[in-house]
Amino acid sequence: MRTKDILDLMPYTKPFLFVDKLLRVDDSGAEGIFTFDAGLDFFKGHFKGNPITPGVLLTECCAQIGLVCLGIHLLKDQQETTGVKIGMSSSQMDFLKPVLPNEKVRVVSKKIYFRFQKLKCEVRMYNSKEELVCKGTLAGMLKSDSNE
């Protein structure tokens, strides 16, 4: 499955799509990039005079690239997949550096396991200086629309 096909199957659209480009997706993990544009609404109020990206959105970016894109790839063998439904089942994240407006990040995920439609991954986010921004473990339940 091509990366464009994976992005077309994502269950998100702007302004809640936190994937600009997928660099790699295979059975062991995924890698992609996203730029937190200064024009995004949440920067107006988080924090006054010193905007940074909320941790929940860093987690969401990691989940979209590292869990959902990988999950769509792993579901590729299910016939006529037209989309995917996902429910986050657990997250544990450590935040190490802030992400500022207009900062480009790179997310790398490594599959821990995928069985019984549950995907668990280790995720890491890096800034443009290749500094580790956050890291953690995410898990979710995946279901192909063709399984309904």
Residue 79: its pLDDT value, please? 47
Q: Which residue has the tokens 């941790």?
A: 55
How far lies 55's CA from each of 65, 103, 120, in Å?
Answer: 16, 14, 20
**Does 73 qualify as catalytic in the annotation?**
no
Residue 145 has pLDDT above 90, yes or no: no
**What pTM was estimated for this model as a whole?**
0.93
Give the total number of structural domains in the chain.
Answer: 1
- Please indicate whether residue 77 or residue 111 has the higher confidence score (pLDDT): 111
Six-digit token pair at 134? 């956050």
Residue 144: its pLDDT value, please? 77
Q: Which listed residue (11, 21, 35, 46) is catalytic?
A: 46
Residue 103: its pLDDT value, please? 98
Residue 83: its pLDDT value, please? 67
Q: What is the pLDDT of residues 26-82, one digit of tens each?
A: 999 999 999 999 999 999 999 989 999 999 999 999 999 999 999 999 988 664 556
| Residues written for the chain | 148
Domain that holds residue 139: 3-147
The domain that holds 110 is classified in CATH as 3.10.129.10
